Amino acid sequence: MGSGMAANLVAAGHDVVVWNRTRSKAEALGGVTVAESPADVASRCPLVMVCVSDTPDVVEVVEGDGGLMESLGDSSLVIDHSTISPSVTRELAEKVAAVGAGWLDAPVSGGSEGAERGTLSVMVGGDPDHLERARPYMEAFSKTIVHVGDVGAGQTVKLVNQVLVVINQWAASEALILAQAAGVDLRAALAAVEGGAAGSWMLSNRGPQMIERDWRPGFTIDLQQKDLRLVLEAADELGVALPGTAQVFQMYRALQRRGLGEEGNHALVKALEELNDLELAGD
Beta bridge partners of 79: 49, 104
Q: What angle do CA 194, 110, 1 make, to 5 degrees?
A: 150
Backbone angles phi, psi at 204, to 5 degrees: -70, -35
Per DSSP bridges, beta strands 47-50 and 77-80 are: parallel
Nearest CA among 70, 46, 4 for reference residue 218 = 4
**Residue 57 CB partners (closer than 8 Å, separation 6+):** 82
The number of helices, as runs of H, and strands, as runs of E, in the chain is 13, 8
Helix (H/G/I), strand (E/B), else coil: 198:
coil
- Catalytic-labelled residue, pool 25, 95, 143, 158: 158
CA 193 from chain centre, in angstroms, equals 27
Active site residue 158: yes
Burial of 2 (0-12, 13-18, 19+ CB in 10 A): buried
Supply the residues annotated as catalytic: 158
